[in-house]
Amino acid sequence: MKQAAPRLIELVEECKSLAFDLNFSYAKEWKKQSPDRLLVGYLPIYVPRQIMHAANALPVGIMGVGDRKQIIKGDAYYQSYICHLPRGIIEMALDHNLDDFDGFLFPSICDCVRNLSGMFKLVHKGKFTRYFDYPQNFDEHIGGTFYRELLETIINDMHLLNGVNISIEALNRSISLYNKNRKLVETIYNIRQDYPWRLSATDVYHIIRAGMVINVEKHNEILEEVIRYIEEDYGEPMDNIRVIISGSFCEQPPIGLIKSIEMAGCYIIDDDFMLGSRWIQDDINGTTEDPLNELVISFLTKSTASSAIYDVGNPRSARLVQLVKRRNADGVIFCAASFCDPALLDRPELQKACDAEGIAHINFQFHENTGQFKVIKEQAGTFSDSIKLWV
């Protein structure tokens, strides 16, 4: 049996250390190269990274501390019944991990992230702090106008710091680079749909997560290289079922949990981890005279299904069922962070839709620092066995 190329293993290792570097050393080093470079941190899920890239800023995803940092101060800022993600982030802020960042964006996904934006203001972190209040009205004339104004506000925040005026060419170039990035990510998922044994779900996770903290040019190179390797045939298929993970869009599950699901006999062939990097579901036109408008339109019309977006008229349950069919999955694992209102309030409806279509599903809750996976592994194993019995 042919083995994975050593260079691929090396690339995955590189991504792994980038993805979980809570000091953001790569980004800080990048910033040092030129005085007009900025670091803009953003929380899950989505911000249009193109505007930062075009403004000579590096968008840096702050995806939580996972199980990599002991929380001491953060717990004094949050009651026990609030999810884990914000306590890790405030801990990082208080421990000076984020000191070189110029600004922070807090996407409008829930009240925890919303209030965290105010906490950053109260503890004076960042030269600008914005709650990224994207519209829930998707009419171009109504929500579109508001969204454009929001993007212009952030562009202005950055301009005040580095004096960069974004040109049409620069923004079009950024749009094209991120188009390529999403396409490459999708290619990896597409290859894994047919050959999930060539790259484990944890490897994919590390590769995609690394892209949140480095520049898109470098990430594209990594992705291209990875794709070259996984296009080749190697490894051996196992008798695993094929599942989609749903619900982990914000607080990220610990790597141990992803591994446990795989080890229990489930190939994870699609997921909503790192949803922000796959948010826009198609190319954005990067050749027009008004690229900002293209970003606006793409948000209004091409956003992925997410618990953070009003879905009446385009229900996420139907979109999940579609995804299951498109990926030819055997079942869905609902896997949401504890105390996550947006994900957990969606769950019954999504489960109902799966039931109606005869799609098998199970359900876990986790904290980003969950350390015990025995029960989860057993449940996923039973799930896998029960599906194998019927298909």
Partner 1 sequence: MSNPKEAIKENSMIIQKEMLGNLFTELSTAKENGKKVVYTFVPGNLTELILALDMLPVYPEINALQSGMRKKSGSYIKDAEKMGFSEDVCTYVKCDIGMMLSGNIGPTGEKLPDPDLLLLSYTGCFTFLKWFENLERLYPGVEIAMLHTPYQEDGTITQDQVNYMVKQLKEDVIPKMEKVAGKKLDYDRLSKMLENSAKAEDLWVKVLQTAKNRPSPIDSYFAGVYYMGPLFTAFRGSEKAVEYYQELYNEVTERLKQGLLPVTPEGEMKEERFRLVVEGPPNWTNFREFWKIFYDMGAVIVASTYTKVGGVYDQGFRHEPDKPLESLAKYCMGCYTNLNLPQRVDLLEYYIKEYKADGFLINSIKSCNSFSAGQLLMMREIEQRCGVPVGFIESDLVDPRYFSYANIKNRLESYFQMLGQRKVIMAQEEAQV
98 interacts with partner 1 by CB under 8 A: no
Q: For the CA atoms of the chain, what is the radius of gyration? A: 20
Q: Edge-to-edge strand order for the sheet containing 103-107?
A: 57-61, 38-42, 103-107, 128-132
Angle between helices 216-230 and 201-210 (to 10 degrees): 160
Quote the least distance from Cβ 125 to ligand SF4, whole Å.
17
Nearest alpha carbon to residue 304 among 295, 317, 291, 316: 316
Q: What is the DSSP string of 259-293?
A: HHHHHTTEEEEE--TTGGGG-B-SPPP-SSS-HHH
Q: Is 126 left (phi over 0), alpha (psi -120 to 50) or beta?
A: left
Of 50, 117, 277, 306, the one binding partner 1 by CB under 8 A = 117
Q: Which residues pair with 365 in a beta bridge?
A: 336
182 or 319: whose CB is closer to partner 1? 319
Q: Is 19 left (phi over 0), alpha (psi -120 to 50) or beta?
A: alpha
15 or 112: whose CB is closer to ligand SF4? 112
Quote the least distance from Cβ 48 to ligand SF4, whole Å.
19
Quote the least distance from Cβ 24 to ligand SF4, whole Å.
20
Of 131, 178, 205, 383, the one binding partner 1 by CB under 8 A = 131
- Partner whose binding site includes residue 130, from partner 1, ligand SF4, none (CB under 5 to 8 Å by kind): partner 1
142 interacts with partner 1 by CB under 8 A: yes
Q: How far apart are CA 258 and CA 260, in angstroms?
A: 5
With beta carbons less than 8 A apart as the criterion, state whether 22 and 41 touch.
Answer: no
Of 21, 133, 140, 225, the one binding partner 1 by CB under 8 A = 133
157 interacts with partner 1 by CB under 8 A: no
Quote the least distance from Cβ 357 to partner 1, whole Å.
15
367 interacts with partner 1 by CB under 8 A: no
With beta carbons less than 8 A apart as the criterion, state whether 284 and 298 touch.
Answer: yes
Helix (H, G, I), strand (E, B) or coil at 362: strand
AA identity, residue 280: I
CA distances from 303 to 58, 154, 178 (A): 22, 20, 15
Quote the least distance from Cβ 135 to partner 1, whole Å.
6
- Partner whose binding site includes residue 250, from partner 1, ligand SF4, none (CB under 5 to 8 Å by kind): ligand SF4
184 or 344: whose CB is closer to partner 1? 344
**Residue ranges binding ligand SF4 (CB under 6 A):** 83, 85-86, 109-110, 112-113, 250-251, 337, 340-343
Rounded-to-10 torsion of CA 134, 140, 142, 147: 30
328 interacts with partner 1 by CB under 8 A: no
Of 9, 72, 76, 238, the one binding partner 1 by CB under 8 A = 76
Of 86, 88, 103, 276, the one binding partner 1 by CB under 8 A = 86
- Within a 10 A sphere around the Cβ of 184, how many other Cβ atoms? 19
Of 162, 281, 365, 379, the one binding partner 1 by CB under 8 A = 365
Residue 5 phi, psi (nearest 5): -65, 140
Of 38, 222, 340, 362, the one binding partner 1 by CB under 8 A = 340
Structure tokens at 22: 């809570």
Quote the least distance from Cβ 243 to ligand SF4, whole Å.
21
Quote the least distance from Cβ 300 to partner 1, whole Å.
13
Nearest alpha carbon to residue 188 among 90, 63, 97, 278: 278
Of 345, 356, 375, 391, the one binding partner 1 by CB under 8 A = 345
> Which positions lie near partner 1, rule CB under 8 A?
76-79, 81-82, 86, 108-112, 114-119, 121-123, 130-131, 133, 135-137, 139, 141-143, 145-146, 149, 307, 310-312, 315, 336, 338-342, 344-349, 351-352, 365
